[in-house]
Structure 1
Amino acid sequence: MRFEQLEQFVALGSLRHFRQAAEQTRISTSALTRSIQTLEDEIGCELVKRSTRSVKLTEQGELFLNYCKATLSELELTKKTIKQSLFGRDQQKLVVGYTNKASAIVPMSCGKFLADYPNVKVEMQLQDENELTRKLQLGEIDISVYLQSASNVMSDIHLPDQLILFVAKHHPLASKDSLRRSELSEYPMYGCFSQLKQVQTMLNEAVEGLNKSTSMKIGNIDQVIEGLKSSNHFAIASIEHSKTIAQDPNLVLLKTNKDVDHEQLVVQTNHHVSGDSHIKHLLELIEQTAQAQSCTTQ
């Protein structure tokens, strides 16, 4: 049993999808399948229930997943302890992972931190939330920072400021002062994606959040506008198209809740670093910067 096999099983246990887990661990799907089968042979029981639509862990698989996470975490702790004993505290390195939405918080906080602790090296990694969770579990990052919706009301619609929803003037939703998620569920959707990678990622997440990823029709802005005028679809696009939409008298922008007022900061650390005084100082700086940013936007 090798450590990379444990990492592969953690990826599969987190994603519950063979292809995605294989991509995350940078091996082929067939190689991942063989790796899991080898683990099952060594342990002597079935770890994974496979079907055409989903991957589920057996009871034994869930227990083994916890073992894998604990073992990999302990491995990283041991490696760091060895490094510290060899190179001393002056060579300590902190890895801080953060999402795009936290990009106004983390670099500024780390800059202030380095002014107080010049002997600590800080590496910042921009990742999506799922990758942050995986790397934190494996001990590849020390601190993860991201923003998540603070609202548990599933009927609300929360979109980043970079995204807009719109419909034709004759659409039943055009006269609404505000929208609820349930009101969108009965209407089909058009998507007009952005050339900007970061905005496109936001679009993908928003579409998935509205449960429209499998049924949405995709086109350029002209095709989407033309389609709206002859159907009951609504559409999502990046804010770069807002001027074109606003200038068309047959289109109406829909009013939604913007997530700037519905997000909270989530900061997580590895258990072996959370007690260090200088790390506590960095966490305090992150909290203070986030509060300052919140006051500025309100």
Structure 2
Amino acid sequence: MRFEQLEQFLALGNLRHFRQAAEQTNISTSALTRSIQTLEEEIGCELVKRSTRSVKLTEQGELFLVYCKNTLAELEHTKKQIHQSLFGRDQQRLVIGYTNQASQIVPLSCGQFLADYPNVKIEMQLQDENELSRKLQLGEIDISVFLQKACQIESDVHLPDQLIMFVAKHHPLASKDTIRREELLHYSMFGCFSQSKQVQNMLNEVIEGLNKSTSVKIGNIEQVIQGLKSSTSFAIASIEHAKTVAQDPNLVLLKTNKAMEQEHLVVQTNRNLGASNYISHLLSLIERTAQTKQYVS
């Protein structure tokens, strides 16, 4: 039984697909099949249930999969210990894998880190997300960094770029960083006429989307502003009125979600990577750099 066979079975157990597992371990599908058959002969039981549609592990196969994971992780840990015993502990080494989307984060963070820890050697590897997961599991990298799509919250208020939302300075919503749809249910609404038919149609769609069609009060910008100052209503108007609203000290423009596609940072560390000051410092730099790039973590 060879370590390569354990890696091949681990790939098959993770992917449950012969062709994909063969591609991941850089062998042919027929070679992977022979490797699994050899393992079954050596162990003396069936590890994999094969069908034309799927690959399922037997109960014994699931147990052997755990063995593969633990053995390969222990192998990598032992390699590191041997390396440290040969070359000393003064020169620490970190392998960081990252996706192309995180290329604005990792190199910059590592550059800042090396200025503080010149004795630590860093190897950076540009990989796709699946390869990062595989290498992290096998202990071939210490830290993986990638960006993941953030789910949009359906209850957030989305306004087209051509529209603005605003309230009086004393309004409860004036201090909110984001506005939730359910919060607007408690307040009446003003809508401001627009000379653009297209913008007016957008305004009508927002009014309908907020279920304010039967209660909205429509007027010109002067009427709307006057109505806000004597009530707890909110207002929506065309972007052409943004300057007028911004210059009025008694009004506040509200921040609304423009439905932009956001990403958040995902940082994973190898389970054998011990906690230390320099590791914590590097992870902190990665997170701080992501925040300056306006990624949500």
Q: Deviations over 1:18-46 (max 9, x none)?
A: 11211211111111101101111122222
Cα 1:283/1:26, change in 2 over 3 Å: same
Cα 1:277/1:43, change in 2 over 3 Å: same
Q: Deviations over 1:130-189 (max 9, x none)?
A: 1101000101000001111232879xxxxxxxxxxxxxxxxxxxx9x89xxxxxxxxxxx
Cα 1:258/1:36, change in 2 over 3 Å: farther
Provide the residue aligned with 1:14 in structure 2. 14
Asked if structure 2 preserves the Cα contact closer than 8 Å seen for 1:16 and 1:54, the reply is yes
Looking at structure 2, the residues matched to 269 and 42 of structure 1 have their Cα atoms a distance apart, in angstroms, of 34
> Residue type of the partner of 1:44?
G
Looking at structure 1, the residues matched to 148 and 95 of structure 2 have their Cα atoms a distance apart, in angstroms, of 21
Between structure 1 and structure 2, the one with the greater Rg is 2
Looking at structure 2, the residues matched to 150 and 62 of structure 1 have their Cα atoms a distance apart, in angstroms, of 33
Provide the residue aligned with 1:90 in structure 2. 90
- Residue 100 of structure 1 deviates from its aligned partner by 1.3
Matched pairs, number: 196
Provide the residue aligned with 1:135 in structure 2. 135
State whether structure 2 residue 91 is matched by structure 1 residue 74.
no
| 3-state SS in 2 of match to 1:95 | strand
Looking at structure 2, the residues matched to 45 and 152 of structure 1 have their Cα atoms a distance apart, in angstroms, of 48
State whether structure 2 residue 130 is matched by structure 1 residue 123.
no
| 3-state SS in 2 of match to 1:90 | coil
> Residue type of the partner of 2:60?
Q
> Residue type of the partner of 2:146?
Y
Alignment of 1:191-270 (within 5 A): 257-259=259-261, 261=262, 263-270=263-270
> Residue type of the partner of 1:281?
H
Percent identical pairs in the alignment equals: 75
Looking at structure 1, the residues matched to 83 and 18 of structure 2 have their Cα atoms a distance apart, in angstroms, of 34
Looking at structure 2, the residues matched to 257 and 132 of structure 1 have their Cα atoms a distance apart, in angstroms, of 29
Looking at structure 2, the residues matched to 266 and 41 of structure 1 have their Cα atoms a distance apart, in angstroms, of 41
Q: Deviations over 1:92-113 (max 9, x none)?
A: 2110001111111111111111
* Structural RMSD (CA): 2.3
The runs of 5 or more residues in structure 1 that have no matched partner are 155-174, 179-255
Looking at structure 2, the residues matched to 105 and 61 of structure 1 have their Cα atoms a distance apart, in angstroms, of 40
Looking at structure 2, the residues matched to 153 and 63 of structure 1 have their Cα atoms a distance apart, in angstroms, of 40
Cα 1:139/1:23, change in 2 over 3 Å: same
The runs of 5 or more residues in structure 2 that have no matched partner are 155-201, 207-257
Cα 1:58/1:152, change in 2 over 3 Å: farther
| 3-state SS in 1 of match to 2:267 | strand
Looking at structure 2, the residues matched to 110 and 78 of structure 1 have their Cα atoms a distance apart, in angstroms, of 26
TM-score (norm 1): 0.61
Provide the residue aligned with 1:33 in structure 2. 33
Asked if structure 2 preserves the Cα contact closer than 8 Å seen for 1:16 and 1:56, the reply is yes
